[in-house]
């Protein structure tokens, strides 16, 4: 349940079949200079400009909740405790990875992903005069696929108060005041780094660009990706997203420029390496494409869905024991992957291991990232239990 900062990678067979052959010589972009990356004329102007002020805006209903449910508690306890108590009690937010929401949208829906939760909590903290520290948390990445896109999702959270100086936040005896869907001890022990609010703004805009593009509106997605880079030119994920948007618009030269900008700032950026390698290969520039692919292979020994896809192939061939082993490998690499848990449940059921199948379905339900998927796996679990 860590879906968050979306780096888009496109499945090659879908994205690159439509690219024209050719070769483009591109000027090097200076790090931080994002203006040469934009091609506004390729996209319809937005019906409404992207409004970054709305991200942290506190509306009337939030102010009423703050005045009635949180402020009175601050007369007797630390404001940070009062806010955390509200977030875990009357303001409890359900996890939903489908859409990244602003502070007011998250409050109204009472659901959102990790970034939505961070944004809403920070908006309340600002009203209470609480210092906050935004954090990017390492080693909690997840991969997913949606409508032909492969999506790398990273994790961020919020510390109420100042952050400790070390990359491992707090000594063993101290538990920080962290706003996160994950248990405090799990994230307190994780390696993380502080990030400025401008990066959080860029993360929100990049998420929306990715979500809108997956939904099919490339024009609108462009303006969000553009705004993300303007908000934080150092946030290279947005440059990669912008590159994929250009590829969707069949403009590979602009896509290449954006991806090279990302790699100029972050040479080990896996999504940009993968996308640029495939773009160059599709244009017949095989030598450079191969060099990038070799670099990617050194950074990423196994593609994110390698064991899952091999497991599905084994299932289709009726090799259920082999499939179970492959899905277990997939889960060892991506512990929160719902589809791997579900497919392992099917393999275990074919092998007659009904208790193991039930346990995997329970994990699929627990780790589902939308209310709809949780309901689906809960129904499957009830059906399996009715058979026993």
- Compute the average pLDDT of residues 225-233: 97
Instruction: Please state, in angstroms and rounded to a whole number, the distance separating the CA atoms of residues 258 and 272.
Output: 9
Residue 23 reports pLDDT greater than 50: no
Domain boundaries, the chain: 1-301, 306-386
Give me the pLDDT at residue 312, please: 94
User: Where do we find the tokens 């593609």?
Assistant: 303
Using CA atoms, how far apart are residues 365 and 379, in angstroms rounded to an integer? 9
303-313 pLDDT, tens digit each: 888 999 999 99
pLDDT in tens, 171-211: 443 457 889 887 766 666 778 899 999 999 999 999 999 99
Confidence of residue 149 (pLDDT cuts 50, 70, 90): confident
Looking at CATH, the fold of the domain delimited by 1-301 is given as 1.25.40
High-pLDDT (> 90) share of the chain, %: 60
The Cα 10–Cα 24 span in angstroms is 21
DSSP string, 303-370: -TTHHHHHHHHHHHTT-HHHHHHHHHHHHHH-TT-HHHHHHHHHHHHHTT-HHHHHHHHHHHHHH-SS
Fold matches, 1-301 and 306-386: yes
Q: Is the dihedral of CA 33, 35, 36, 39 positive or negative?
A: positive
pLDDT for 188? 65
The four Cα atoms 280, 300, 213, 228 give a dihedral, to 10 degrees, of -90
Tell me: pLDDT of 22 over 70.
no
Query: CATH for 306-386, among 1.25.40.10, 3.10.450.240, 3.90.76.10, 1.10.357.10?
Result: 1.25.40.10
């Amino acid at each position: 349940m860590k879906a968050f900062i979306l780096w888009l990678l496109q499945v090659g067979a879908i994205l690159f079949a439509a690219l024209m052959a050719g070769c483009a010589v591109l000027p090097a972009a200076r790090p931080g200079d994002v203006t040469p990356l934009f091609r506004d004329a390729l996209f319809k102007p937005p019906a409404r400009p992207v409004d970054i002020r709305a991200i942290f805006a506190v509306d009337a209903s939030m102010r009423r909740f703050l005045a009635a449910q949180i402020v009175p508690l601050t007369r007797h306890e630390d404001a940070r405790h009062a806010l955390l108590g509200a977030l875990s009690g009357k303001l409890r937010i359900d996890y939903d990875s489908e859409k990244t929401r602003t502070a007011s949208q998250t409050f109204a829906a009472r659901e959102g992903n990790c970034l939505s939760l961070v944004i809403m909590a920070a908006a309340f903290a600002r009203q209470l005069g609480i210092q906050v520290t935004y954090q990017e948390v390492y080693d909690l990445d997840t991969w997913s696929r949606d409508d032909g896109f492969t999506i790398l999702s990273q994790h961020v959270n919020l510390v109420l108060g100042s952050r400790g100086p070390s990359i491992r936040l707090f000594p063993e005896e101290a538990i920080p005041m962290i706003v996160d869907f994950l248990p405090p001890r799990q994230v307190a022990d994780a390696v993380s780094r502080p990030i400025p609010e401008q990066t959080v703004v860029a993360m929100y805009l990049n998420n929306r660009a990715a979500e809108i593009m997956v939904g099919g509106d490339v024009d609108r997605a462009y303006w969000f990706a553009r705004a993300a880079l303007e908000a934080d030119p150092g946030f290279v994920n947005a440059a990669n997203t912008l590159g994929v948007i250009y590829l969707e618009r069949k403009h590979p030269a602009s896509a290449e420029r954006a991806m090279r900008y990302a790699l100029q700032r972050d040479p080990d950026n896996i999504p940009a390496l993968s996308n640029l390698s495939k773009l160059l290969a599709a244009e017949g520039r095989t030598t450079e494409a191969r060099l990038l692919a070799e670099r990617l292979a050194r950074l990423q020994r196994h593609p994110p869905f390698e064991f899952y896809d091999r497991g599905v192939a084994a299932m289709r061939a009726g090799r259920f024991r082999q499939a179970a082993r492959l899905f277990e490998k997939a889960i060892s690499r991506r512990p929160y992957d719902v589809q791997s848990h579900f497919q392992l449940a099917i393999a275990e059921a074919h092998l007659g291991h009904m208790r193991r199948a039930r346990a995997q379905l329970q994990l699929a339900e627990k780790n589902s990232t939308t209310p709809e998927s949780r309901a689906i796996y809960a129904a499957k679990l009830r059906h399996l239990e009715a058979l026993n």
